[in-house]
Each structure stands twice: as structure tokens, then as C-alpha cells.
């Protein structure tokens, strides 16, 4: 009965257009006071306990680094390098678009930031050079989603915090699938445009592009190298990324002024303000469920029905694909992660591999209506109708499903550097 009342309450609040933090607060307070027989103050205690962690600093810091770079010229410089290097390949510009998204994702950690930083430069260039409009839109929307799987990824950090999984291990594990997805997308871009005229291998242009974009290219090396070598924690690496980005954009490139920097800070605060209450409430919900032994009950219930690891993977994939269509990735990771990880363990799935699987699954949610964030961002940024944008991503969506199957069924792809 309690569950039914709770469900009805959540549905009612959803229908009445409430923000996720409001819905979560009501649901969690309800659980604390009815099922848990506690007080709402206990929920606040757990909320504060949840956010009182050093590792969480990396989230706003990576968001800030991404915002600084999208306000400056790092994206433009990365694109110039990618275009110069891929010029002799048929469909080189399309391949350059995918590569630019992947590299920019490696410094921003966000899908929409990646799409908004790369898209406005490469989309007009693709159209001007005779690439099909649908292909251009689909490629940008899909390659933009690489932002949440290419380390450092904010959803991976949140998964690590929520499930007590090593964030460094998750970052290392994300490399293989990120490379595989990037290769799939770049390969498709090449194959689809194989009849396009190729450019020349211009050594001078490559040298100039590398000279102008060298500091931008060094950034992922600095961030990921520091983490992977064990020299810095994810949080320290994020702080270094912020200072490096400010230094490069304001002092070296001089493409950013104080007003731009303030804009990047405000944008970060808005994102942090939207994320932090959701994070705190979702984590307090997790604490509550752990105390009430909910994950153990789910494990017993599901394992009674599903006896095969592969059926479980299929079940989780379908569940995550469905969740991704209606829920933002942050609450999806924070709520579903701690519930599903104990289950995954019982089927012998490594939590690090499971985290990667879950994020790749939810990555598809960026391209599927009604929530598909990248579809809406592309619709606004490129002034195209929703139907056109959605149809444009279908081939890439099919490609990403293939990628998801590979990530799910080949754990070594994620774990070869971890275990």
C-alpha cells in the first residue's frame, strides 16, 4: 500500500511539472517518515553526509573546466588539428568531426558541452563542403554523446560515488569502449562518405594547426595522464584542468576575458545547483534503501527469476534503455546504480564493467525521445525541426547499439587495463 501511495505521489508530481529535486525530496521524506519511522531531519543528515566528500569536488571542477573551454577557443583549435590530419581521407571532415568530439569530450566530461562547442563550427563546414544534412546532424548528435563515456566523465564520477566504485578504475575502463565507439562512428563517417573528394596532405597546415592547438591537445594528456599514472586524484586533476584552461585561454591564447570567465563560473553554478540537491537526495535514498536491505531483497527477487548472466545483461540493457528515454542521466545513475550493482555482482559482473555498461546504455538516452537531450540541443543550436534531427540520428543509434552489445558482452574491452 505504501509503495502504491508513493508511486501515485510521484506520478502526480511528475504530471504537475515538478523538478526532480522536489519529487525526490517528497519521495525520500515520505520513505524516511513512514517506512523508516524516522524524521525528515534524518534525511537532511544523510544528505549532508553524502555531499561531504572530497571526491565530489571533481564534478563542479570538470564542469567548470569544460565551460571555460567552450567559452574560449580550445574547441576551434582542436577541430583545426583534426581537419588538417584527416584531410587526405575521403569524408575527412566527417571523421574530423567525430575525432574533435572525442578529444573535446576528454577535457569537458559533458555531452551537451561537447555538442555545443564542436557543432557550431563543424556543422556549417560540413554543409558547405557538400555533406548530407541528415548525416551531419546525426554525426554531431551521436559524437556529442561521447562526452559521457570518454574519461573524465561526470556520470562515471557519479556512478563511482554512488556505488563506492573506484573512479580511477572507471576512468581507465572507459578508455577501451570510448575508443571503440569513436572508431565505429569515425569508420561509419568514412564509409558513408567514401566517394567524397579528398583533400591534400598539407604538412604546413598540419604544422600550423599543431602549433596553435598544441596546448589544447596537451590538456587531455595532462588530465588523464595525471590520473592514470596515480600522480593526481580525479579531484586534483580537475582543479589542474581548470587552472590550465584559464591559463591557456586567458594568458596564452588571449581568447577569453574576465566577463567570459565569470560567464563560465555562473554556468557552472547553475549546473551544480541543479545537480547537487538531486545528488544529495538520491544518495540519502540509497542510504535509506541500504539500511532497509532493499538491494538484498531485489537481488533475491530477480535472481529467483533470471538465472543466466546474459539474460540479466539483456534485462538491464532494456531497463536502462527505457529509463534513458524518460529520465536524465544524473538521477538514473544515482538511483539505479546502487540498486543494480549488487545484482550484477551476483551474476559475476565486475562493478567497474557494469558501470561502463550502464553509462553506455544511458548514453543512448541522449538520442531517444522524449528526453533525448542532444536532440533538443541540436534542434535549437542548428535550427532544424525535431523530426529531421531524430531521423538523422537513427543510423548512429543502430551503430551505438552494436557498440553497446560489444561493451556488454566483452568485459575485457573495459577491464583489460584495470584487472
Applying CB under 8 A, which of residues 31, 47, 209, 367 lies at the interface with another protein?
Answer: 47
Q: Where are the alpha helices (DSSP H) in 327-349?
A: 329-346
**∠ CA 250-256-258, rounded to 5°:** 85
* CB closer to another protein, 206 vs 269: 269
The three three-digit cell numbers of residue 118, written as one number: 564542436
Q: Per rule CB under 8 A, is residue 328 in the interface with another protein? A: yes
According to CB under 8 A, which residues from 55 to 114 bind another protein? 56-57, 60-61, 64, 110-113
Q: Per rule CB under 8 A, is residue 235 in the interface with another protein? A: yes
* CB closer to another protein, 86 vs 374: 374
Query: In 10 A of CB 11, how many CB atoms?
Result: 11
- Cβ neighbors of 144 (< 8 A, separation 6 or more) are 101, 111, 112, 114, 115, 118, 119, 366, 374, 377, 378
Give CA–CA dist 414/355, Å, rounded: 10
* CB closer to another protein, 79 vs 245: 245
Counting residues that bind another protein (by CB under 8 A) gives: 66
According to CB under 8 A, which residues from 366 to 385 bind another protein? 370-371, 373, 376-377
Give the nearest distance from C-beta 297 to another protein in angstroms. 26
Structure letter (DSSP) for residue 370: T
Applying CB under 8 A, which of residues 40, 221, 394, 402 lies at the interface with another protein?
Answer: 40
- Cβ neighbors of 414 (< 8 A, separation 6 or more) are 173, 174, 176, 177, 352, 353, 356, 357, 407
| Residue from 50, 110, 111 nearest 277 by CA | 50
* CB closer to another protein, 44 vs 315: 44
Give CA–CA dist 264/28, Å, rounded: 33
Cis peptide before 370 (omega within 30 of 0): yes
Q: Please give the span between the terminal C-alpha atoms of the chain, in angstroms, as a whole number.
A: 45
Q: Per rule CB under 8 A, is residue 35 in the interface with another protein? A: no
Stretch of 234-242, 305-313, 344-352, 353-361 contacting another protein, by CB under 8 A: 234-242
Q: Per rule CB under 8 A, is residue 265 in the interface with another protein? A: yes
x-or-dash string of contact with another protein, 131-170, rule CB under 8 A: ----------------x-----------------------
Stretch of 37-45, 73-81, 172-180, 400-408 contacting another protein, by CB under 8 A: 37-45
Q: Per rule CB under 8 A, is residue 236 in the interface with another protein? A: yes
Q: Per rule CB under 8 A, is residue 16 in the interface with another protein? A: yes
If 0-12 CB within 10 Å is exposed, 13-18 middle and 19+ buried, where does residue 51 land? middle
Chain positions contacting another protein, by CB under 8 A: 13-22, 25-26, 29, 40-41, 43-45, 47-48, 51-54, 56-57, 60-61, 64, 110-113, 147, 232, 235-236, 238-240, 242-243, 262, 265-266, 268-278, 326-328, 330-331, 370-371, 373, 376-377
Amino acid at each position: 500500500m505504501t509503495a502504491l501511495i508513493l508511486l501515485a505521489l510521484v506520478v502526480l508530481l511528475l504530471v504537475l511539472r515538478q523538478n526532480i529535486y522536489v519529487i525526490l525530496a517528497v519521495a525520500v521524506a515520505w520513505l524516511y517518515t513512514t517506512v523508516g519511522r524516522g524524521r525528515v531531519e534524518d534525511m537532511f543528515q544523510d544528505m549532508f553526509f553524502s555531499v561531504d566528500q572530497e571526491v565530489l569536488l571533481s564534478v563542479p571542477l570538470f564542469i567548470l573546466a569544460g565551460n571555460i573551454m567552450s567559452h574560449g577557443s580550445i574547441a576551434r583549435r582542436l577541430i583545426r588539428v583534426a581537419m588538417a590530419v584527416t584531410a587526405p581521407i575521403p569524408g575527412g571532415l566527417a571523421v574530423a568531426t567525430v575525432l574533435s568530439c572525442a578529444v573535446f569530450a576528454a577535457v569537458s566530461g559533458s555531452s551537451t558541452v561537447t555538442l555545443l562547442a564542436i557543432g557550431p563550427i563543424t556543422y556549417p563546414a560540413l554543409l558547405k563542403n557538400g555533406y548530407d544534412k541528415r548525416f551531419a546532424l546525426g554525426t554531431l548528435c551521436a559524437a556529442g554523446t561521447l562526452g559521457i563515456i570518454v574519461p573524465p566523465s561526470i556520470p562515471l564520477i557519479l556512478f563511482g560515488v554512488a556505488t563506492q566504485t573506484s573512479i580511477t578504475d572507471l576512468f581507465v575502463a572507459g578508455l577501451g569502449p570510448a575508443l571503440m565507439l569513436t572508431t565505429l562512428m569515425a569508420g561509419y563517417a568514412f564509409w558513408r562518405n567514401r566517394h567524397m573528394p579528398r583533400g591534400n596532405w598539407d604538412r604546413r597546415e598540419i604544422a600550423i594547426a599543431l602549433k596553435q592547438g598544441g596546448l589544447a591537445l596537451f590538456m587531455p594528456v595532462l588530465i588523464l595522464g595525471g590520473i592514470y599514472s596515480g600522480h593526481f586524484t580525479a579531484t586534483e586533476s580537475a582543479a589542474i584542468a581548470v587552472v590550465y584552461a584559464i591559463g591557456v585561454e586567458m594568458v596564452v591564447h588571449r581568447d577569453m576575458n574576465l566577463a567570459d570567465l565569470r560567464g563560465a563560473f555562473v554556468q557552472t553554478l547553475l549546473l551544480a545547483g541543479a545537480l547537487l540537491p538531486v545528488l544529495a537526495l538520491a544518495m540519502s535514498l540509497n542510504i535509506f534503501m541500504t539500511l532497509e536491505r532493499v538491494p538484498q531483497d531485489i537481488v533475491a527477487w530477480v535472481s529467483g527469476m533470471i538465472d543466466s548472466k546474459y539474460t540479466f545483461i539483456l534485462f538491464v540493457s532494456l531497463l536502462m534503455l527505457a529509463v534513458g528515454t524518460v529520465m536524465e542521466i544524473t538521477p538514473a545513475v544515482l538511483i539505479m546504480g546502487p540498486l543494480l550493482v549488487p545484482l550484477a555482482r551476483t551474476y559475476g559482473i565486475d562493478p567497474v564493467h557494469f558501470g561502463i555498461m550502464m553509462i553506455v546504455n544511458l548514453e543512448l538516452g541522449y538520442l531517444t525521445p522524449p528526453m533525448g537531450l542532444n536532440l533538443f540541443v541540436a534542434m535549437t543550436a542548428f535550427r532544424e525541426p525535431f523530426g529531421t534531427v531524430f531521423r538523422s540520428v537513427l543510423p548512429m543509434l543502430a551503430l551505438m547499439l552494436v557498440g553497446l552489445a560489444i561493451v556488454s558482452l566483452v568485459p575485457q574491452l573495459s577491464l583489460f587495463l584495470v584487472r
